[in-house]
Structure 1
Amino acid sequence: MSKKNICVIYGGKSAEHDVSILTAQNVINAVDTSKYIIDIIYITNDGDWIKSNQSINEKINDIEQLKLKCDELTPISKLLEVSNDGEAYSAVFPLLHGPNGEDGTIQGLFEVLDIPYVGNGVLAASSSMDKLVMKHLFAHRGLPQLPYVSFLKSEYEKYEHNIVELIQNKLEYPVFVKPANLGSSVGISKCTNKEELISGIDEAFQFDRKLVIEQGVDAREIEVAVLGNDYPETTLPGEVVKDVQFYDYKSKYKDGKVQLQIPADIDEETATTLRNMAIEAFKATDCSGLVRADFFLTEDNTIYINETNAMPGFTQYSMYPLLWENMNLSYTELITKLIELAIERYDNKKNIKYKID
């Protein structure tokens, strides 16, 4: 059987640029090279697209190898037109986190260029990226959530006193201040008083024009991985066990101050409820490919959905792949499955009529 050509796209004009490169290194090194030929495209911090003129034939030992440089840029459509072998790509694999990567923008580009791609479509990616839109969709599906307040930067600049008062009247400290459209805990603050709240708001507005302020809760953080298209499957839940009060960007990716317990130590009934809710969340945002659904579980077994992540951390040590490894699906097999799901979705979409005879 001849090998299929795929293209891994990483980097991006995002605060999560470095996380994306690390993810790309892990994925590239784990792709089944008996099935796939791998091309790579690096998107710089400035948004320039650079494609290696050679396919990847050996392991990437240093992420600096993935920070490609080029004197003359090529139009994006030309980069994606054919592989280095001159063949059309069977699928592209976007490993981009944050804005311009998992928010539906690049997915829209692939749709326009008619290229199969791994992961969620435009609607699912954009609605999963925007925490406020996501909350509205979850509410429509009847999924339980913690109280929250949301507002725009322009509103805050005009009505700062009123908004701070609204937050303090509706929510109880601690609260979490979050940019509406970022992941990997970038720009998020845990606030225990008014001074910290104002400081956290100022910090978060550096990363987005819209914020979500969420009620804090004393609870365990439970995550479920979802995989599939129209008939998604789930893993047993896993738990994020922290040595820090707040699971922020630094503790996630730099300090190693978190541990993952897989599977989580919870009863079978609660695990089943969490898995069913993960499917409901997947369907609420019309997801495909992959999603990680994140929940809070209180001491009395009350469950709140926190969010879904349409492009979860995907290094071999991240929760999503490890949850599937616990279900006897290896990292390499998971990557293969995601590529197959991308091709399946693309082929199914080809059956849709776009003109009337």
Structure 2
Amino acid sequence: MPETVSDPAQPARRTRVALLFGGRSGEHAISAATAAGVMKAIDREKYDVIPVGITRSGQWVVASDDPARWELASGRLPEVTAESGAEVVLASSGAGTVLQVLEPGSVPSVLGEVDVVFPLLHGPFGEDGTVQGLLELADVRYVGAGVLASAVGMDKHYMKLVFAGHGLAVGPHVVVPPRDWEQRRAEVLTRVQNELKLPVFVKPARAGSSLGVTRVDDLADLPHAIEAARVHDPKVLVEQGIEGREIECAVLGGRGGAAPRASVPGEIVVDHESVDFYDFEAKYLSATQARTQAPADLPGEVAEKVRDVAVRAFEAVGAEGISRVDVFVTPEGEVVVNEINTMPGFTPISMYPKMWEASGLSYPDLIDELIKLALERPTGLR
């Protein structure tokens, strides 16, 4: 909701932003690290920041505002626990949507009116439309995609259907629903053998950060890879490997009804001598297995094609505010969409802010722009 001034003699209060992070998914620690980056960079002259952590069991707590508490550190992944702060709930009052602190033996105290929520959540129970639906019901503005776009962007099965329906190129793949694997396992293995070429990549349909992803070069290893993916999601996707460069592009919603904006493309350069693919360790824990490069070294016409495809993918799922689109650029110059992330990694060294920095928009200014986009957009049907 816009800033208001009740007394002309008094300055406008700062916009109050709740940073929501942690959560119930396997990407809990990455979400906390993302929050640490935003805490460091957000303009405290313009915004009052309320860090709200969600434990792995789903409890909401008012969390520490110290970024160091939530950063990825050597040998330690940050964790939101029930001891991280006082329990908090989202509630409505005559003044609007508020966060209320619940402390044992005391009446809930109003933490303050919330102008916008920045849901820095990755994976299921956060990036998949569930929290977005809660915020819509509470009638509070929030950064990023709405319910449907978040759900489609989280589920790689339906994501690919939507992309293909909009004329975007997607790679060959086989979906393995839980009932098929449990009751028709031989048929699943036959489908993969007949429809896909090795190598294939087996991954949870609704997870991120490369959790549960396995490269398979021998079909004898496929059942084990599917079981490893099912640890994170009962529905699994088997994708045919695509020869090409892994290119990413950041998309930012347009202001005032304008078209979405695409950054310069970036590239993930993997050291294939030390790792088969861009897995969780290469993404977050190793300083040597992979590096990011923005802008990517691409011919001008290919870079423009990537940017065009990224915007088309953003609009295909109905995304808003923020998304990162990952593609493969084949040796023939074809751009194949791999996936869209409606709440991508957002630490200062993550690809999304790095690509915008290479495009001339700094990390603090990017945060400011995303909050302004959220404040401009109403809740409900739009």
Q: How big is the shift at 1:60?
A: 2.3
**Structure 2 match to 1:81:** 98
Which of 170, 175, 183 is the aligned partner of 2:195? 170
User: For the residues of structure 2 that align with 1:107 and 1:350, how far apart are their CA atoms?
Assistant: 11
2:238 counterpart residue number? 213
Q: Does residue 1:188 correspond to 2:224, yes or no?
A: no
State the percentage of identical aligned residues.
40
Asked if residue 225 in structure 1 is aligned to residue 272 in structure 2, the reply is: no
Q: What is the CA RMSD across the aligned residues, in angstroms?
A: 2.1
In structure 1, the partner of 2:68 is 61
Q: Whole-Å Cα distance in 2 between the matches of residues 127 and 268 of structure 1?
A: 31
Gaps of 5+ in 2: 1-11, 71-77, 101-108
Match of 1:320 in 2: 352
Contact kept, 8 Å, 2:22 with 2:79, in 1: the verdict is no
Alpha-carbon spacing, 1:90–1:145, altered in 2? closer, same or farther (3 Å): same
Q: 1:129/1:273 Cα in 2 relative to 1: closer, same or farther (>3 Å)?
A: same
Equivalent residue of 2:83, what SS?
coil
Using the alignment, how far apart are the partners of 1:32 and 1:73 within structure 2? Answer: 26
Instruction: Work out whether residues 222 and 296 of structure 1, in 8 Å CA contact, stay in contact via their aligned partners in 2.
Output: yes
Whether 2:287 is the aligned partner of 1:276: answer: no
| SS of corresponding position for 2:377 | helix
2:373 to 338, 341, 347: 341
For the residue of structure 2 that corresponds to 1:69, the secondary structure is helix
Q: CA deviation at 1:159?
A: 0.8
Cα distance change on mapping 1:278 and 1:72 into 2, 3 Å:
closer
Q: Kindly indicate whether residue 26 of structure 2 is the aligned counterpart of residue 15 of structure 1.
A: yes
Residue type at the aligned position of 1:77? A
The equivalent position to 1:142 in structure 2, one of 156, 167, 174, is: 167
Find the residue that maps to 1:93 and give its secondary structure: strand
Q: How do residues 234-249 of structure 1 correspond to structure 2 at under 5 angstroms?
A: 234-243=262-271, 244-249=275-280
Alignment size in residue pairs: 346
Cα distance in 2, alignment partners of residues 71 and 30 from structure 1? 22
2:361 pairs with 309, 322, 329, which one?
329
- Measure how far apart 1:341 and its partner are: 0.4
- Once the two structures are TM-superposed, the CA of residue 105 in structure 1 deviates from its matched residue by 0.2
Q: Which residue of 1 aligns with 2:44?
A: 33
- Asked if 1 retains the 8 angstrom alpha-carbon contact of 2:202 and 2:239, the reply is yes
Deviations 1:61-113 (A, max 9, x none): 23269656269744443796148885421201111110001000000000000
1:195 Cα offset (Å)? 2.1
Distance in structure 1 (CA, Å) of the matches to 2:297 and 2:245: 11
TM-score, normalised relative to structure 1: 0.92
Matches within 5 A, 1:109-128: 109-128=134-153
What 5-or-longer segments of structure 1 have no aligned partner?
Answer: 353-357
CA–CA separation in structure 2 for the residues paired with 1:350 and 1:162 = 43
Structure 1 stretches of at least 4 aligned residues deviating more than 6 Å after TM superposition = none
